[in-house]
């Protein structure tokens, strides 16, 4: 396999993860936000609608191929395919609105991730509400229809401090890889759409960002 991009910390592959996973070295953690299989309609959001649909979101998501790799897993959006996952007591909750759970908005005020890291469930608050994106400034441009905050992925990585090699088989714009690189960890990303591989490669080529605190 020829990487789309590679440096001392990051390797990116362009292709279908089901074809690439069998050829990878063992990883410590799979941290990803896969297509949920819900055929989400973004027509009500003009900016995101211009980015197009997420590949694979039009059919039920099967997590089995990625459960077979990695010692530990964090899978966002897993409430949409929980029936195809093992029972686990620990779930991660991302509170994304700056108000209570009771909302009149059409979007959910939180998102869930399935994980097998064990222990009690955990919650993290980070505002990511329309054009208001904490830490990114007002009007932060959308580059992927299901983009996650960099700080959220850093938090996920903090829960698995012994994971030195991270895999994101549905890499998107490369947020997981950027978080891993900022924290001094190595990572592998796989993405089926080349336009996102290009965006991710540019993000990886940037100087490692200084972390707060």
Summarised one tens digit per residue, pLDDT across range 189-207 is: 999 999 999 999 999 998 7
- The DSSP letter of residue 203 is H
Give the single-character DSSP code of 36: -
Question: In the predicted model, what is the mean pLDDT of the chain?
Answer: 84
Mean pLDDT for 13-39 is 92
Question: Is residue 18 within 8 Å of residue 68, measured between CB atoms?
Answer: no
- Are 170 and 33 in contact, with CB atoms under 8 Å apart? yes
Separation between Cα atoms, residue 150 and residue 191, nearest integer Å: 18
Read off the tokens for 137: 């400034």
Distance (Å, whole) CA 117 – CA 159: 8
Angle between helices 175-182 and 150-158 (to 10 degrees): 60
Kindly report the CATH number that applies to the domain delimited by 5-205. 3.40.50.150
Mean pLDDT of 80-95: 95
Q: How far apart are CA 69 and CA 185, in angstroms?
A: 18
For range 70-81, the mean pLDDT: 95
Q: What is the pTM of this model?
A: 0.84
- The more confident residue out of 100 and 94 is 94
Residue 109's pLDDT band, with cuts at 50, 70 and 90, is confident
pLDDT, one tens digit per residue, over 157-193 is 999 999 999 999 999 999 999 999 999 999 999 999 9
E-strand spans in 25-171?
29-32, 72-76, 91-95, 110-115, 122-125, 128-129, 132-133, 165-168
- Which residues, including other chains, have CB under 8 Å from residue 40's CB and lie 6 or more apart? 53, 54, 57, 145
Please state, as a whole number, how many other Cβ atoms lie within 10 Å of the Cβ of residue 172.
25
């Amino acid at each position: 396999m020829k990487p789309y991009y590679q440096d001392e910390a990051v390797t990116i592959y362009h292709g279908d993860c089901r074809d690439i996973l069998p050829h990878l070295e063992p990883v410590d953690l799979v941290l990803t936000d896969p297509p949920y299989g819900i055929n989400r309609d973004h027509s009500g959001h003009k900016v995101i609608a211009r980015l197009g649909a997420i590949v694979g979101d039009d059919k039920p998501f099967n997590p089995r191929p990625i459960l077979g790799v990695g010692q530990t897993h964090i899978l966002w959006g897993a409430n949409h395919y929980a029936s195809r996952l093992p029972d686990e007591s620990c779930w991660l909750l991302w509170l994304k609105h700056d108000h209570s759970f009771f909302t009149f908005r059409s979007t959910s005020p939180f998102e869930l991730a399935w994980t097998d890291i064990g222990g009690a469930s955990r919650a993290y608050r980070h505002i990511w509400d329309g054009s208001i994106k904490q830490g990114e400034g007002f009007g932060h441009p959308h580059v992927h229809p299901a983009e996650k905050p960099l700080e959220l992925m850093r938090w996920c990585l903090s829960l698995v401090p012994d994971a030195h090699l991270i895999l994101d088989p549905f890499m998107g714009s490369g947020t997981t890889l950027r978080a891993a690189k900022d924290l001094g960890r190595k990572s592998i990303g796989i993405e089926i759409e080349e336009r996102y591989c290009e965006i991710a490669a540019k993000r990886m080529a940037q100087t490692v960002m200084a972390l707060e605190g």
